[in-house]
Amino acid sequence: MSTVTWITVRGLFGRRRFLLLLPLPVLLVGLAVLSRGLGVAPADWGPPVLVGLGLAVVLPVVALIVGTGVLGAEIDDGTVVHVLTTPLPRWQIVLPKLAVAAGVTAVSVAVPLFAAGLLADSVRLGVALAVAASVGALAYSALFVAASLLTRRPVLLGLVYVLIWEGLLSNVVTGTRVLSIQHYVIALADRLAPTNLLSTTVSVAVAAVMTALIIITATFLSIDRLRSFSVAGETS
């Protein structure tokens, strides 16, 4: 399992797509620092920066870039053949790649969110955002890794979920928030550090159950789908 992890990390950091992870977190921290420096009230800049940018854009987009890359890129360039020819059970391939995707996403997003939360309110809010974002990173990563195995257009599918479902429908039809990872993260962060800067109609209980369900279901789908791949990289 450690070998698969090392290969995944090396491949991820060796691709130019990793450079795409930098601008959004930097923008998040930059806007927080600028707002704090200009003396803007946290109530005015907190929600649009922390939630509107941090949790609604930075977290899912970074997870999409990384999650669709740890296996999807190997399928696209044909190097997945080397993975498929190993005697390892498929779960020993999927789990390390999911761990790398979730870990890289969590570090890329949790650190800037902690800084932004600290500037907006307190250390407690910063920690709450970082913890909640890390949980969300695992859920998003599981979903997008599965998408990279289930469809030839995982990025497009991921953008539809993030932009249309979470970004548009959840703000218009509140009932759709029950199927929104973004709102699970908000609910968890607000529970850890109650604040007027965060707001959602999803309860912590629902968020916890649905997050676990998404992670488990998506992971099993990924393992099952990878079992159906032949050495040629196509489904059997």
Domain spans in the chain, listed from the N-terminal domain onward: 25-227
Q: Quick one: tokens of 65?
A: 């870039």
Low-confidence ranges of the chain (pLDDT < 50): 1, 231-236
| pLDDT score recorded for residue 236 | 45
Maximum separation of any 2 CA atoms in the chain, in Å: 60
| pLDDT score recorded for residue 226 | 85
| pLDDT score recorded for residue 2 | 66
Question: Which of 55, 59, 63, 94 minimizes the C-alpha distance to 218?
Answer: 94
| pLDDT score recorded for residue 81 | 63
| pTM of the predicted model as reported, rounded to 2 decimal places | 0.91
Ramachandran quadrant class, 233 (left: phi over 0; alpha: psi -120 to 50; beta: rest): left
